[in-house]
Amino acid sequence: MYKYLLVLFLGICLASCKKQEVKNTKLTGTVFGTSYSIIYDSNHDYHEQFDSLFYVVNNSMSTYQTNSDISKLNRNESNKVDAHFVKVFEASKEIYKSTEGVFDPTIGAVVNAWDFGPEGKIVNLDSLKIDSLMLSVGLDKVKRSRNTIIKPDATFLDFNAIAKGYGVDVIGEYLESKNITNYLVEIGGEIRAKGQNKEKQANWKVGVENPNFDGTQSILKAITLKDQAMATSGTYRKFKTDEQGNRYAHIIDTGTGYPSKTSLLSISVLAENCMTADAYATAFKAMGIDKVKVFLKSNPELKVFLIFENENKELETLALNNFPEN
C-alpha cells in the first residue's frame, strides 16, 4: 500500500514538474528586406498571423511595393492611407518637431539623388538639382485630414527610418492582445522585449554590435532589456569617402541637402516603443555627438549608447541618460 502511494506521489510530482516547464516558441523568417526572430512563451504558432500583419504594414508603407499606399501617394495617384500609415505619420510629425527637422521623412528623394556607387565615392551633383529637390523637402509641407494626406506633388515620403521599428511594435502588440506578456521581437536588429525569457527563467539579454567595417559581426556588450525597445543605427556599413579620405555616412543634412561628415559609427536608443527608438536612432546619427548630448538633457526618457571615432581614429563609447551597463 505504502509502495503504491509512493509511486502515485512520485507520478503526481513528475506530472506537476512537467506542467511547470515552459518552452518558448521561436519563429524566424524574412521581412522588410531583412530577417526577423520572434520568441514568446506560448506553444501557439502565430506564423500565419505575423505574415498577415507584415503584409498589411508593407502594403501601407513600403516604397519598394508599387501598389502600397505610400507608393501611390508619392506618384500622386491616391492620397488615401490606412490606420498604420496615420500612426507612423503622426509619430513622424512629433519627432520632426522635437528634432527641429533633423528627422524628416521627406528627405528621401535627396538621399536617393546622392547615389552610393559600387566604390563608395562621392559623386558631385549639380547644385541646381539639389536646390530643386530641396524645395519639396519638409514634413511641415505635408498635412493630414483623417485618412487623407495632402502634400506638394514633388514631395516624396519615405518611412524607412521608422517603419521597421513600427513593425516590431505591431507584432509585440499583437502578442499582448493574446495575453502573451513574455516575448522578444527582433526585426533587422530592432528589438522590443516584454517580461522575461520564461524558458531560461532570466531577463532578456540583447547585444550591441561592434562597428566592424569589414562586414563581420561581433558583440561589444550585452545588456538586459525589459519592457523596453532598442533600435540601432549604424554608419559603418554604408558610407562614402571623398578625395581626402574623409568618411561620409549615408546621412543628408535636411537643411542643405548635402552629405554630413560624422564621427559617429553606431547609435543605440532605448525607448518605450521601437518606433520611437528607430526614429531617434536615425535622427541622432545626423545630429552628431554634441547636439545629441544637449537634446537628451531635456529628453531623459531616451537612453543612448554611442560608438564613435575620436581625433586619433580610435574607437570610444559614451553612455547617456543611464543607458544600462549590462
DSSP track, 104-161: -TT-HHHHHHS---TT-B--PPPHHHHHHHHTT--GGG-EEETTEEE--TT-----TT
pLDDT for 143 equals 98
pLDDT for 260 equals 75
CA distance 133 to 135: 5
Confidence label for 326 from pLDDT (cuts 50, 70 and 90): confident
Within 10 A of 34 (CB to CB), how many other CB atoms are there?
12
Q: What is the DSSP letter of 240?
A: E
What is the tens place of the pLDDT at every residue in 152-188? 999 999 999 999 999 999 999 999 999 999 999 999 9
CA distance 101 to 32: 25
Residue 250 grid cell: 549615408
pLDDT for 219 equals 84
pTM for the predicted model, two decimal places? 0.88
CA atoms within 13 A on the CB side of 159: 32
Across the chain, what does the average pLDDT equal? 88
CB 119 within 8 A of CB 105: no
Whether 117 has a pLDDT exceeding 50, the answer reads no
Neighbouring-strand partners of residue 145 = 148
What is the tens place of the pLDDT at every residue in 131-140? 999 999 999 9
pLDDT for 258 equals 83
* DSSP labels, 21-44: ----EEEEEEETTEEEEEEES-S-
Q: What is the DSSP letter of 45?
A: -
pLDDT for 240 equals 64
Question: CB-based contacts of 178: which residues, under 8 Å, 6+ apart?
Answer: 42, 44, 46
Whether 43 has a pLDDT exceeding 80, the answer reads yes
Q: Is 293 exposed, middle or buried (0-12, 13-18, 19+ CB in 10 A)?
A: middle
Provide the percentage of residues in the chain whose pLDDT is more than 70: 85
Whether 192 has a pLDDT exceeding 80, the answer reads yes
Question: CB-based contacts of 272: which residues, under 8 Å, 6+ apart?
Answer: 228, 229, 301
* Rounded mean pLDDT, 200-227: 86
Please state the domain extents for the chain: 25-320
Report the CATH architecture of 25-320. Roll (3.10)
Provide the percentage of residues in the chain whose pLDDT is more than 90: 67
pLDDT for 3 equals 42
Confidence label for 217 from pLDDT (cuts 50, 70 and 90): confident
Q: Which residue has the higher pLDDT, 212 or 306?
A: 306
Whether 69 has a pLDDT exceeding 80, the answer reads yes
